[in-house]
């Protein structure tokens, strides 16, 4: 099971790879057209000023014509005003487009990521994905909201300026053109080096966020093992690596800028010197030389600006490429094309010779030749040593993974032919260590059924034996539970999870009993809550309590992915040594 495309480690960073992202500009045609018009107008106005300058020098200054000087002054002021208005429109529209497009891309990527299958997240680092979602999109924003317009404006200025240079003096332009390769080739070579270094710096920054995320997520483990210093050192190592990588890039970039200035302005000075001689010999007029100098500065400025933003464009191209790759990966687990519209009133579940290998562990099956029939409303207790495959059975029912061979059927229909929404909508999961989101208790319970009313939430909390402790909290059900529910005990977290499952009213219940010892009061409450919850539902329970086991309709003893024995507690105790040993070691008596 491989995803159609994995994230490339070394994106090529070709500017044309930004092309697939152009579709994000499509809905904003008017803004793009407005920005384009403003850009064109502003560039033409700048170029027009050179022609004005030539006219002014030749006709106004040389001939002492005061009226013409005054007239030129007012024209210049008007053009400047129009230029300012066009620049305002360009800046506003382009920056707005940058923000808008990146907001759309972010939302799209998140929507895409959240629909990816579980296997994808096992093979992709979360930090890597977060960095795509934040750093890469921010890079794109700089480019769409600025660099592209700088590049386009300066390309226009470059070509327009060059044309006008030709018109002003072909001879001087000839000299200038001769110098172009001398100026451009070193810049291109160094620019490439800057990009490579930029990419390396980017990767080092991704390492920082991966490390920070991992360690902050396991802060309890780190503090309990007093690993703070160790972690600090490791983190500082990453930070220094990133700093060193950034430093190499900055040094190269600074050198590039200095080189650009030297080469470009050196070339202009040379042309000026040659042009000066032409004026002295009368080959060209003073106005022509003034305009030529003006256009040379415009063209040189344009080359400089392009060389500045080209690195940004290349970096953004790398980012764009990674984002496109991310959007192109398709989930391995999807709803079928033609969905069987079934109403799940009850749940008969049938495993038909199921064998499953985890995508990352292809040498050994996690489940092998597993066949089982579970009638509606029955309770199946899954028991077995650690790593036997109990949790894997849950993951397969939830269709987090598809079996490599065999079928799982719900009411006779292969679950691959049921829409994921319908299938998962019929399942309630109570994990061993429930996830509590950083919001109120009420909203945490509501996650089981987003459309539940407040009364239903209270009723679910009551049935889950959670109402009493929740009401005693400072703001009752509206109390904020802290990140990952740190303000709750293990037993309380479980009861919230049970309330969540109750409000979902699922036909299939997947219950992973906590192995950790709870105090007898918590144990009693949870037992009560679970009994409420299991009534009338097809239940799979990874059982650790003797009372759950004795009440189950069937006990399935799993060992190394295979069913080793099926029976009641009493039968298994008598006929199976592994079960007898497990019973002695693992099963707790409920209080
Ligand atoms: P426990 O009681 O310790 O939770 P379990 O019976 O629930 O164990 P499973 O989690 O189903 O066991 O694991 C079955 C086997 O599959 C184990 O050998 C485990 O190492 C492997 N396994 C579990 N999850 C993955 C995964 N995501 N990728 C690869 N292998 C996995």
| Whole-angstrom distance, CA of residue 556 vs CA of residue 552 | 10
Task: Sketch out the chain's domains with CATH numbers.
Answer: 15-328 (1.20.1560.10), 372-403+420-426+507-591 (3.40.50.300), 433-505 (3.40.50.300)
CA of 332 relative to ligand 1 center, distance in Å: 20
pLDDT at 230 > cutoff 60? yes
Q: Give the pLDDT confidence of 558-589 residue by residue, as tens digits.
A: 999 999 999 888 888 888 888 888 888 766 55
Instruction: Answer yes or no: is the C-beta of 384 below 6 A from any ligand 1 atom.
Output: yes
CA of 366 relative to ligand 1 center, distance in Å: 7
pLDDT at 321 > cutoff 60? yes
Instruction: Answer yes or no: is the C-beta of 395 below 6 A from any ligand 1 atom.
Output: no
Tokens of 473: 């909290």
Tokens of 362: 């292809």
Q: Give the pLDDT confidence of 45-81 residue by residue, as tens digits.
A: 888 888 888 887 887 776 777 787 788 778 888 888 9
Residue nearest to atom 16 of ligand 1 (CA): 366
CB 419 within 8 A of CB 115: no
Q: Give the pLDDT confidence of 479-521 residue by residue, as tens digits.
A: 887 776 677 887 888 888 889 988 998 999 999 876 655 666 6
- Reported as a pLDDT band with limits 50, 70 and 90, residue 28 is very high
- Reported as a pLDDT band with limits 50, 70 and 90, residue 15 is low
Instruction: Answer yes or no: is the C-beta of 361 below 6 A from any ligand 1 atom.
Output: yes
Residue nearest to atom 25 of ligand 1 (CA): 358
| Whole-angstrom distance, CA of residue 225 vs CA of residue 213 | 18
Q: Which of 9-18, 116-125, 326-335, 418-427 has the lowest mean pLDDT?
A: 9-18
Instruction: Answer yes or no: is the C-beta of 332 below 6 A from any ligand 1 atom.
Output: no
pLDDT at 5 > cutoff 60? no
CA of 119 relative to ligand 1 center, distance in Å: 13
Instruction: Answer yes or no: is the C-beta of 389 below 6 A from any ligand 1 atom.
Output: yes
Q: Give the pLDDT confidence of 243-258 residue by residue, as tens digits.
A: 999 999 999 999 988 9
- Reported as a pLDDT band with limits 50, 70 and 90, residue 2 is very low
pLDDT more than 70, % of the chain: 94
Tokens of 89: 């429109």
- Residue 453 phi, psi dihedral angles, 5° rounding: -85, 170
User: What stretches of 80-239 adopt beta strand conformation (E)?
Assistant: none
CB 344 within 8 A of CB 410: yes
Residue nearest to atom 4 of ligand 1 (CA): 386
Which region, left, alpha or beta, applies to residue 255 given φ > 0 means left and ψ of -120 to 50 means alpha? alpha
Q: Which atom of ligand 1 is nearest to the CA of 119?
A: 27
pLDDT at 339 > cutoff 70? no
Residue nearest to atom 3 of ligand 1 (CA): 386
| Whole-angstrom distance, CA of residue 268 vs CA of residue 261 | 10
Q: Give the pLDDT confidence of 86-103 residue by residue, as tens digits.
A: 989 988 998 999 899 999
Cα separations in angstroms, 65 against 82, 290, 294: 26, 18, 22
For 452-472, what is the mean pLDDT?
89
pLDDT at 317 > cutoff 60? yes
Looking from the CA of 564 toward its CB, the CA atoms found within 13 Å total 19
For 4-9, what is the mean pLDDT?
41
Nearest C-alpha neighbor of 383 from the set 520, 578, 189: 578
- Reported as a pLDDT band with limits 50, 70 and 90, residue 9 is very low
| Whole-angstrom distance, CA of residue 483 vs CA of residue 141 | 31
Is 589 in a helix, a strand, or coil?
Answer: coil
3-class secondary structure for 297-322? Answer: HHHHHHHHHHHHHHHHHHHHHHHHHH
Tokens of 167: 């018109």
Q: Give the pLDDT confidence of 124-152 residue by residue, as tens digits.
A: 888 788 888 888 898 888 888 888 888 88
pLDDT more than 90, % of the chain: 29
**CB neighbours of 232 closer than 8 A, spacing ≥ 6?**
none
| Whole-angstrom distance, CA of residue 234 vs CA of residue 498 | 40
Q: What is the pLDDT of residue 470?
A: 87
Instruction: Answer yes or no: is the C-beta of 358 below 6 A from any ligand 1 atom.
Output: yes
Instruction: Answer yes or no: is the C-beta of 122 below 6 A from any ligand 1 atom.
Output: yes
Q: Which of 56-65, 271-280, 302-311 has the lowest mean pLDDT?
A: 56-65
CA of 367 relative to ligand 1 center, distance in Å: 10
Residue nearest to atom 18 of ligand 1 (CA): 387
Q: Which atom of ligand 1 is nearest to the CA of 361?
A: 29
- Order of all β-strands in the sheet with 367-374: 367-374, 349-356, 405-410, 413-414
CA of 554 relative to ligand 1 center, distance in Å: 22
Is 71 in a helix, a strand, or coil?
Answer: helix
Which residue is associated with the tokens 């053009």? Answer: 79
CA of 392 relative to ligand 1 center, distance in Å: 6
Pocket probe mutation, ligand 1, options 366, 511, 560, max atoms within 8 Å of Cβ: 366
Task: Give the residue, 257 or 403, on which the prediction is more confident.
Answer: 403
Which DSSP helix (H) or strand (E) runs through 429? strand 427-430
Q: Which of 29-33, 198-202, 334-338, 553-557 has the lowest mean pLDDT?
A: 334-338
Nearest C-alpha neighbor of 197 from the set 326, 13, 8: 13
The overall average pLDDT reported for the chain is 85
For 352-377, what is the mean pLDDT?
92
Pocket probe mutation, ligand 1, options 391, 393, 394, max atoms within 8 Å of Cβ: 391
Task: Give the residue, 401 or 77, on which the prediction is more confident.
Answer: 401
CA of 29 relative to ligand 1 center, distance in Å: 52
Q: Which of 10-19, 41-50, 211-220, 394-403 has the lowest mean pLDDT?
A: 10-19
Tokens of 308: 């500045």
Nearest C-alpha neighbor of 427 from the set 317, 525, 511: 511
CA of 167 relative to ligand 1 center, distance in Å: 76
pLDDT at 181 > cutoff 80? no
């Amino acid at each position: 099971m491989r995803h159609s495309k994995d994230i490339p480690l070394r994106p090529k960073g070709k500017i044309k790879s930004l092309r697939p992202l152009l579709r994000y500009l499509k809905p904003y045609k008017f803004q793009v057209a407005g920005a384009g018009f403003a850009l064109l107008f502003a560039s033409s106005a700048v170029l027009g000023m050179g022609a004005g300058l030539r006219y002014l020098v030749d006709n106004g200054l040389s001939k002492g014509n005061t009226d013409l000087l005054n007239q030129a002054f007012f024209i210049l002021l008007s053009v400047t005003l129009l230029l300012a208005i066009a620049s305002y429109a360009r800046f506003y529209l382009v920056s707005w487009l940058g923000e808008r497009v990146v907001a759309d891309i972010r939302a799209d990527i998140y929507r895409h990521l959240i629909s990816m299958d579980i296997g994808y997240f096992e093979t992709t680092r979360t930090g890597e994905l977060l960095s795509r979602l934040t750093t890469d999109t921010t890079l794109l924003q700089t480019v769409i909201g600025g660099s592209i317009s700088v590049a386009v404006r300066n390309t226009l200025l470059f070509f327009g300026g060059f044309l006008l240079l030709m018109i002003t003096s072909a001879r001087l332009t000839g000299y200038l053109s001769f110098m172009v390769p001398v100026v451009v080739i070193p810049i291109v070579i160094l620019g490439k080096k800057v990009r490579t270094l930029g990419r390396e710096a980017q990767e080092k920054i991704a390492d920082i966020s991966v490390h920070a995320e991992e360690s902050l997520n396991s802060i309890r483990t780190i503090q309990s093992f007093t690993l703070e210093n160790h972690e600090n050192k490791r983190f500082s190592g990453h930070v220094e690596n990133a700093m060193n990588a950034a430093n190499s890039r900055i040094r190269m970039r600074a050198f590039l800028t200095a080189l650009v200035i030297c080469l470009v302005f050196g070339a202009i000075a040379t042309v000026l010197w040659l042009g000066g001689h032409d004026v002295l010999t009368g080959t060209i007029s003073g106005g022509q030389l003034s305009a030529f100098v003006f256009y040379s500065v415009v063209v040189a400025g344009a080359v400089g600006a392009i060389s500045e933003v080209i690195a940004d464009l290349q970096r953004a191209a790398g980012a764009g490429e990674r984002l496109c790759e991310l959007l192109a990966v398709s989930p391995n687990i999807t709803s079928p094309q033609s969905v069987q519209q079934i109403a799940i009133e009850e749940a008969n579940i049938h495993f038909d010779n199921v064998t499953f290998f985890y995508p990352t562990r292809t040498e050994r099956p996690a489940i092998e030749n597993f066949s089982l029939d579970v009638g509606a409303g029955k309770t199946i207790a899954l028991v077995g040593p650690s790593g036997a495959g109990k949790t894997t059975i849950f993951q397969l029912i939830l269709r987090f993974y598809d079996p490599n061979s065999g079928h799982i059927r719900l009411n006779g229909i292969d679950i691959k032919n049921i829409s994921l929404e319908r299938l998962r909508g019929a399942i309630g999961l109570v994990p061993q260590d429930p996830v509590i989101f950083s919001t109120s208790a009420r909203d945490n319970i509501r996650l089981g059924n987003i459309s539940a009313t407040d009364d239903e939430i209270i009723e679910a909390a009551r049935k889950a034996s959670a109402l009493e402790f929740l009401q005693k909290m400072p703001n009752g059900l509206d109390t904020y539970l802290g990140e990952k529910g740190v303000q709750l005990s293990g037993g309380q977290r479980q009861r919230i999870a049970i309330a969540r499952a109750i409000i979902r009213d699922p036909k299939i219940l997947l219950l992973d009993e906590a192995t950790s010892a709870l105090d007898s009061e918590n144990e009693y409450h949870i037992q009560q809550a679970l009994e409420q919850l299991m009534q009338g539902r097809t239940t799979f329970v990874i059982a650790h309590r003797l009372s759950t086991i004795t009440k189950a309709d069937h006990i399935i003893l799993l060992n190394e992915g295979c069913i080793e024995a099926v029976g009641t507690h009493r039968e298994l105790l008598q006929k199976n040594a592994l079960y007898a040993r497990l019973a002695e070691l693992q099963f707790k008596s409920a209080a």
